[in-house]
Homo-oligomer: A and B are copies of this chain.
Amino acid sequence: MGSPDERRRSDRARTAILTAAAEAVAEVGYAKTSIEGIAARAGVGKQTIYRWWPSKGAVVLDALVTEQPESEWPDTGDLAADLRLVLRATTAEFADEATSATLRAVMIDMQQDAALSDQVMTRMLGPQLAATKRRLEAAQRAGQVADGIDLDVAVEVIFGPVYHRWILRTHPFDEAYADALTELAVRALGPG
């Protein structure tokens, strides 16, 4: 484990590497990001990175997962309130230029790199979608989501519109948008 000083140095180096990886992907895209580039940005040697991560994909994904908010949904018992909270947070993330650039780089590379796509789905997006489905299952048991609704489709009705706006850059993201989308999702899913 090393001395307390050594551990502090290790922690600092790890944090610097993860930050550098996230910045590199946001700036030049995943394809042009290299272990050398991350090392130079972080002020460490390549061998320091290889001590902890086997590949570029592994370190970049760790950087993104570290940056990701909790995948667990809030559960106040009120689906509409929880949806509003999550959609406001999600749209704020997509509205943030640096986060958006990183996600865009990863999303582009996922389309052409099946291994990266699997990793992102398994470690980052998959857990978020699964958490959303669990929250909807709880809401369905509580009578706030109509019986018989396919919850995989319901998850997409919640997040799909955000992706559409983001990919096609049709309209800006703001809180009014998050709230309008919340209202439509509640209408789509509710028992009424």
Contacts and interface: CB of A to CB of B under 8 A. Distances in A.
Interface stretch (A46-54, A135-143, A147-155): A147-155
Contact of A189 (B125, B154, B184): B184
A180 B153 contact: yes
A185 B146 CA distance: 14
A153 B167 contact: no
A1 interface: no
A35 to B, nearest CB: 23
A180 B107 CA distance: 26
A6 to B, nearest CB: 41
Interface in A176-191: 177, 180-181, 184-185, 187-190
A56 interface: no
A87 to B, nearest CB: 11
Given A160-B160, A160-B163, A169-B117, A184 B108 contact: no
A86 interface: no
A76 interface: no
Contacts of A152: 170-171
